[in-house]
Protein backbone atom coordinates (compact mmCIF):
# COMPACT_ATOMS: atom_id res chain seq x y z
CA UNK A 1 0.00 0.00 0.00
CA UNK A 2 2.92 2.35 0.74
CA UNK A 3 3.94 2.34 -2.93
CA UNK A 4 0.48 2.20 -4.46
CA UNK A 5 -0.20 4.66 -7.30
CA UNK A 6 -0.19 8.17 -5.87
CA UNK A 7 -3.55 9.36 -4.65
CA UNK A 8 -5.17 5.91 -4.69
CA UNK A 9 -7.27 4.89 -1.71
CA UNK A 10 -6.62 1.41 -0.30
CA UNK A 11 -9.71 0.10 -2.09
CA UNK A 12 -8.60 1.60 -5.42
CA UNK A 13 -5.05 0.31 -4.99
CA UNK A 14 -6.23 -3.24 -4.25
CA UNK A 15 -8.42 -3.21 -7.37
CA UNK A 16 -5.47 -1.85 -9.39
CA UNK A 17 -3.33 -4.82 -8.32
CA UNK A 18 -6.16 -7.30 -8.96
CA UNK A 19 -6.56 -5.87 -12.47
CA UNK A 20 -2.82 -6.33 -13.04
CA UNK A 21 -3.20 -9.99 -12.08
CA UNK A 22 -6.21 -10.51 -14.36
CA UNK A 23 -4.19 -8.99 -17.21
CA UNK A 24 -1.72 -11.87 -16.84
CA UNK A 25 -4.50 -14.26 -17.84
CA UNK A 26 -4.76 -12.37 -21.14
CA UNK A 27 -1.06 -11.75 -21.75
CA UNK A 28 0.80 -14.69 -20.16
CA UNK A 29 -1.38 -17.74 -19.45
CA UNK A 30 -5.15 -18.19 -19.61
CA UNK A 31 -6.78 -18.87 -16.26
CA UNK A 32 -7.82 -22.34 -17.47
CA UNK A 33 -4.12 -23.27 -17.76
CA UNK A 34 -3.13 -22.02 -14.30
CA UNK A 35 -2.81 -24.79 -11.68
CA UNK A 36 -2.05 -22.60 -8.68
CA UNK A 37 -1.23 -19.12 -7.44
CA UNK A 38 1.39 -18.99 -4.70
CA UNK A 39 1.73 -15.91 -2.52
CA UNK A 40 3.41 -14.99 0.76
CA UNK A 41 0.91 -13.70 3.36
CA UNK A 42 3.72 -11.35 4.37
CA UNK A 43 6.53 -10.96 1.84
CA UNK A 44 9.97 -11.72 3.24
CA UNK A 45 12.72 -10.88 0.77
CA UNK A 46 10.26 -8.57 -1.02
CA UNK A 47 10.38 -6.07 1.84
CA UNK A 48 8.16 -7.35 4.65
CA UNK A 49 4.97 -6.35 2.87
CA UNK A 50 1.71 -7.75 4.32
CA UNK A 51 -0.97 -8.76 1.83
CA UNK A 52 -4.18 -6.81 2.53
CA UNK A 53 -7.03 -9.12 3.57
CA UNK A 54 -9.35 -7.52 0.98
CA UNK A 55 -6.83 -8.44 -1.75
CA UNK A 56 -6.75 -12.04 -0.47
CA UNK A 57 -10.56 -12.25 -0.53
CA UNK A 58 -10.64 -11.10 -4.16
CA UNK A 59 -7.81 -13.49 -5.01
CA UNK A 60 -9.67 -16.38 -3.34
CA UNK A 61 -12.72 -15.65 -5.52
CA UNK A 62 -10.60 -15.55 -8.70
CA UNK A 63 -9.12 -18.95 -7.76
CA UNK A 64 -12.54 -20.44 -6.94
CA UNK A 65 -14.07 -19.14 -10.17
CA UNK A 66 -11.29 -20.66 -12.27
CA UNK A 67 -10.44 -23.91 -10.47
CA UNK A 68 -7.06 -22.58 -9.31
CA UNK A 69 -5.36 -23.68 -6.10
CA UNK A 70 -4.35 -20.89 -3.71
CA UNK A 71 -1.04 -21.61 -1.96
CA UNK A 72 0.25 -19.68 1.06
CA UNK A 73 4.06 -19.59 1.19
CA UNK A 74 4.71 -19.50 4.93
CA UNK A 75 8.38 -20.48 4.83
CA UNK A 76 9.36 -17.19 6.47
CA UNK A 77 6.15 -15.90 8.05
CA UNK A 78 4.80 -19.15 9.50
CA UNK A 79 5.40 -20.79 12.89
CA UNK A 80 4.02 -18.10 15.24
CA UNK A 81 5.93 -15.19 13.66
CA UNK A 82 2.85 -13.05 13.16
CA UNK A 83 0.71 -13.84 16.19
CA UNK A 84 -0.94 -16.91 14.64
CA UNK A 85 0.68 -20.30 14.09
CA UNK A 86 0.27 -19.60 10.36
CA UNK A 87 -0.31 -16.10 9.01
CA UNK A 88 -2.93 -17.49 6.62
CA UNK A 89 -5.12 -18.17 9.66
CA UNK A 90 -6.01 -14.48 9.32
CA UNK A 91 -7.16 -15.33 5.78
CA UNK A 92 -9.25 -18.21 7.10
CA UNK A 93 -10.96 -15.89 9.59
CA UNK A 94 -11.93 -13.70 6.61
CA UNK A 95 -13.37 -16.68 4.73
CA UNK A 96 -10.44 -16.95 2.29
CA UNK A 97 -8.35 -19.88 3.56
CA UNK A 98 -5.62 -21.19 1.23
CA UNK A 99 -5.80 -24.68 -0.30
CA UNK A 100 -2.17 -25.50 0.49
CA UNK A 101 0.34 -24.17 3.04
CA UNK A 102 4.10 -24.48 2.56
CA UNK A 103 6.37 -23.98 5.56
CA UNK A 104 10.00 -24.45 6.65
CA UNK A 105 12.77 -22.50 8.49
CA UNK A 106 11.47 -21.94 12.07
CA UNK A 107 9.63 -25.24 11.84
CA UNK A 108 12.68 -27.25 12.94
CA UNK A 109 14.37 -24.66 15.18
CA UNK A 110 17.56 -24.81 13.12
CA UNK A 111 17.29 -28.40 11.85
CA UNK A 112 16.57 -28.33 8.07
CA UNK A 113 12.99 -29.35 7.33
CA UNK A 114 10.08 -28.18 5.20
CA UNK A 115 6.49 -29.29 4.80
CA UNK A 116 3.30 -28.82 2.85
CA UNK A 117 -0.16 -29.34 4.25
CA UNK A 118 -3.59 -29.34 2.66
CA UNK A 119 -7.05 -30.87 2.84
CA UNK A 120 -7.20 -34.64 2.50
CA UNK A 121 -8.68 -34.55 -1.01
CA UNK A 122 -5.86 -32.27 -2.19
CA UNK A 123 -3.07 -34.41 -0.70
CA UNK A 124 -4.65 -37.65 -1.95
CA UNK A 125 -4.96 -36.32 -5.52
CA UNK A 126 -1.28 -37.11 -6.17
CA UNK A 127 -0.62 -40.82 -6.75
CA UNK A 128 1.48 -42.48 -4.02
CA UNK A 129 5.22 -42.14 -4.55
CA UNK A 130 5.05 -39.25 -7.03
CA UNK A 131 6.01 -36.56 -4.51
CA UNK A 132 9.43 -37.06 -2.97
CA UNK A 133 12.83 -35.56 -2.30
CA UNK A 134 16.31 -36.35 -1.06
CA UNK A 135 15.51 -35.47 2.55
CA UNK A 136 11.87 -36.57 2.54
CA UNK A 137 10.78 -37.76 5.98
CA UNK A 138 14.20 -37.50 7.66
CA UNK A 139 13.58 -38.94 11.18
CA UNK A 140 15.87 -36.50 13.02
CA UNK A 141 14.35 -33.45 11.31
CA UNK A 142 10.81 -34.72 11.91
CA UNK A 143 11.54 -35.29 15.62
CA UNK A 144 13.02 -31.77 15.90
CA UNK A 145 9.96 -30.26 14.20
CA UNK A 146 7.51 -32.11 16.45
CA UNK A 147 9.35 -30.97 19.57
CA UNK A 148 9.55 -27.40 18.26
CA UNK A 149 5.79 -27.35 17.61
CA UNK A 150 5.13 -28.70 21.11
CA UNK A 151 7.27 -25.98 22.72
CA UNK A 152 5.72 -23.22 20.59
CA UNK A 153 2.24 -24.28 21.67
CA UNK A 154 3.05 -25.00 25.34
CA UNK A 155 4.88 -21.68 25.80
CA UNK A 156 2.37 -19.78 23.62
CA UNK A 157 4.79 -18.33 21.10
CA UNK A 158 1.91 -16.62 19.30
CA UNK A 159 1.34 -14.52 22.43
CA UNK A 160 5.09 -13.84 22.65
CA UNK A 161 4.98 -12.52 19.09
CA UNK A 162 2.08 -10.18 19.90
CA UNK A 163 3.83 -8.95 23.04
CA UNK A 164 7.03 -8.24 21.11
CA UNK A 165 5.17 -6.23 18.48
CA UNK A 166 3.36 -4.21 21.16
CA UNK A 167 6.76 -2.93 22.30
CA UNK A 168 8.77 -2.85 19.08
CA UNK A 169 6.15 -1.36 16.76
CA UNK A 170 5.54 1.47 19.19
CA UNK A 171 9.29 2.20 19.24
CA UNK A 172 9.53 2.10 15.43
CA UNK A 173 6.50 4.39 15.02
CA UNK A 174 8.12 6.93 17.39
CA UNK A 175 11.31 6.82 15.31
CA UNK A 176 9.23 7.32 12.16
CA UNK A 177 7.75 10.48 13.66
CA UNK A 178 11.21 11.77 14.62
CA UNK A 179 13.23 10.93 11.52
CA UNK A 180 12.30 11.99 7.99
CA UNK A 181 14.43 9.15 6.70
CA UNK A 182 11.90 6.49 7.86
CA UNK A 183 9.06 6.33 5.37
CA UNK A 184 7.04 3.33 6.48
CA UNK A 185 6.67 0.85 9.33
CA UNK A 186 4.61 -2.21 8.44
CA UNK A 187 4.06 -5.88 9.17
CA UNK A 188 1.96 -8.38 11.10
CA UNK A 189 2.67 -9.48 14.65
CA UNK A 190 6.36 -9.80 15.48
CA UNK A 191 7.44 -9.53 11.83
CA UNK A 192 8.02 -5.89 10.91
CA UNK A 193 9.71 -3.92 8.15
CA UNK A 194 11.14 -0.40 8.48
CA UNK A 195 11.51 1.29 5.09
CA UNK A 196 14.15 3.99 4.71
CA UNK A 197 13.75 6.74 2.12
CA UNK A 198 15.53 9.93 1.06
CA UNK A 199 12.53 11.88 2.36
CA UNK A 200 8.89 11.19 3.18
CA UNK A 201 7.52 13.29 0.33
CA UNK A 202 9.36 11.64 -2.58
CA UNK A 203 9.52 8.16 -0.98
CA UNK A 204 12.74 7.64 -2.95
CA UNK A 205 14.41 4.45 -1.65
CA UNK A 206 17.57 4.98 0.40
CA UNK A 207 19.64 1.76 0.26
CA UNK A 208 22.87 3.72 0.83
CA UNK A 209 21.71 4.79 4.29
CA UNK A 210 20.61 1.24 5.12
CA UNK A 211 24.04 -0.15 4.15
CA UNK A 212 25.74 2.30 6.53
CA UNK A 213 23.14 1.60 9.23
CA UNK A 214 23.82 -2.14 9.08
CA UNK A 215 27.58 -1.63 9.46
CA UNK A 216 27.20 0.84 12.33
CA UNK A 217 24.80 -1.44 14.21
CA UNK A 218 27.16 -4.38 13.68
CA UNK A 219 29.99 -2.48 15.37
CA UNK A 220 27.67 -1.88 18.33
CA UNK A 221 26.72 -5.57 18.59
CA UNK A 222 23.40 -5.64 16.73
CA UNK A 223 22.93 -7.80 13.63
CA UNK A 224 20.58 -6.31 11.02
CA UNK A 225 19.49 -7.56 7.60
CA UNK A 226 17.94 -5.63 4.74
CA UNK A 227 15.25 -6.64 2.26
CA UNK A 228 13.07 -5.24 -0.50
CA UNK A 229 13.49 -4.64 -4.23
CA UNK A 230 15.76 -1.68 -3.49
CA UNK A 231 17.47 -3.11 -0.40
CA UNK A 232 16.14 -0.21 1.69
CA UNK A 233 14.04 -2.08 4.25
CA UNK A 234 15.35 -3.29 7.60
CA UNK A 235 13.56 -6.48 8.57
CA UNK A 236 12.68 -7.14 12.19
CA UNK A 237 12.51 -10.90 12.66
CA UNK A 238 14.11 -11.44 16.05
CA UNK A 239 13.87 -14.76 17.96
CA UNK A 240 10.53 -15.01 19.75
CA UNK A 241 12.32 -16.36 22.83
CA UNK A 242 14.36 -13.17 23.37
CA UNK A 243 14.23 -11.45 26.74
CA UNK A 244 12.85 -7.99 27.51
CA UNK A 245 16.42 -6.81 28.15
CA UNK A 246 17.59 -8.04 24.74
CA UNK A 247 14.65 -6.35 23.05
CA UNK A 248 15.30 -3.00 24.75
CA UNK A 249 19.04 -3.24 24.05
CA UNK A 250 18.41 -3.93 20.38
CA UNK A 251 16.02 -0.98 20.01
CA UNK A 252 18.53 1.31 21.75
CA UNK A 253 21.38 0.30 19.42
CA UNK A 254 19.08 0.58 16.40
CA UNK A 255 18.18 4.20 17.15
CA UNK A 256 21.76 5.09 18.09
CA UNK A 257 22.89 3.70 14.72
CA UNK A 258 20.30 5.77 12.86
CA UNK A 259 21.46 8.94 14.63
CA UNK A 260 25.11 8.14 13.91
CA UNK A 261 24.43 8.20 10.16
CA UNK A 262 22.12 11.21 9.84
Higher pLDDT pick, 138 / 40: 40
- Pairing assessment for the beta strands 191-196 and 226-227 based on DSSP bridges: unpaired
Region label for 95, one of left (φ > 0), alpha (ψ between -120 and 50) or beta (otherwise)? left
For the cut 90, the answer to whether the pLDDT of residue 130 exceeds it is no
Residues 6+ apart with CB under 8 A from 169: 185, 187, 192
pLDDT band for position 148 (50/70/90)? very high
pLDDT digits (tens, 9 = 90+) for 29-88: 999 999 999 999 999 999 999 999 999 999 999 999 999 999 999 999 999 999 999 999
Average pLDDT over every residue of 104-124? 92
**Residue 136 confidence (pLDDT):** 75
For the cut 80, the answer to whether the pLDDT of residue 180 exceeds it is yes
**Residue 134 confidence (pLDDT):** 74
**Residue 158 confidence (pLDDT):** 96
Model confidence, pTM: 0.92
Please state, for a pLDDT cut of 90, what percent of the chain lies above it. 94
Q: Which of 179, 15, 225, 191 is nearest to 87 (CA)?
A: 191
CATH number listed for the domain at residues 10-154: 3.40.640.10
Average pLDDT over every residue of 232-260? 96
For the cut 90, the answer to whether the pLDDT of residue 135 exceeds it is no
Q: What gap in Å lies between CA 184 and CA 174, rounded to an integer? A: 12
Please state, for a pLDDT cut of 70, what percent of the chain lies above it. 100
Sequence spans of domains, the chain: 10-154, 157-261
**Residue 131 confidence (pLDDT):** 77
pLDDT digits (tens, 9 = 90+) for 225-239: 999 999 999 999 999
**Residue 242 confidence (pLDDT):** 93
Cα distances (angstroms) measured from residue 165 to each of 27, 119, 244: 41, 32, 12
| Neighbour-count burial of 133, counting CB atoms closer than 10 A to its CB (0-12 exposed, 13-18 middle, 19+ buried) | exposed
What is the CATH topology of the domain spanning 157-261?
A: 3.90.1150
**Residue 128 confidence (pLDDT):** 85
Amino acid sequence: MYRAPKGYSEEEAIQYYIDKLLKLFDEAAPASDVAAIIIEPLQGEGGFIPVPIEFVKKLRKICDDNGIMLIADEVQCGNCRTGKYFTSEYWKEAGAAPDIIATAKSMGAGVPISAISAREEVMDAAPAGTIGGTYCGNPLACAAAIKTMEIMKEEDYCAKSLHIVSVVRKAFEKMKEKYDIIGDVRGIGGMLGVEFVKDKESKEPNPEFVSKLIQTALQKGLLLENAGSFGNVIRFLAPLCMTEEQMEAGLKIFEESILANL
